[in-house]
Amino acid sequence: MNGKIQFGGDGSWVAVGQQQQMLLAQSPDFDLPTRVYFAALGRMDRKGHARFKRGELMRICSMVDRRTGEVRSARSDSINRAVRKAVERGALADDSSNRCLVVPHIVAQANSGPYYDCPVH
């Protein structure tokens, strides 16, 4: 990588705040695949990898029980389905998992921060 953000076509791009993306990931106002995508943007590094500790993505994407009002971590199978759906939508790469979400370079790029190998991949 040359340190510059480059996309095909006209080369236009937009910046997003990673902290704000993580706040959006926590919002139950969005469907789960969209929240997973927000979490990926909020955590991604220069290689496009967004790593999470075991169970962390489930906690970030907590759900509110409509019956009791209790906040509960999202279920693992729900997160796995959401990751697959985000991949189907083209927001995440095929090798994404609940431990490392991979944002394709055509979707988003970071030009600063760490650049090291992913221990999950």
Q: Structural domain boundaries of the chain? A: 18-102
Q: In angstroms, rounded to a whole number, what is the distance separating the alpha carbons of residues 58 and 48? A: 20
**Residue 19 three-state SS:** helix
pLDDT-based confidence at residue 114 (cuts at 50, 70, 90): low
pLDDT tens profile 48-60: 999 999 999 999 9
Q: DSSP letter for 23, please.
A: H
pLDDT for position 5: 76
User: What number of other Cβ atoms are within 10 A of residue 51's Cβ?
Assistant: 17
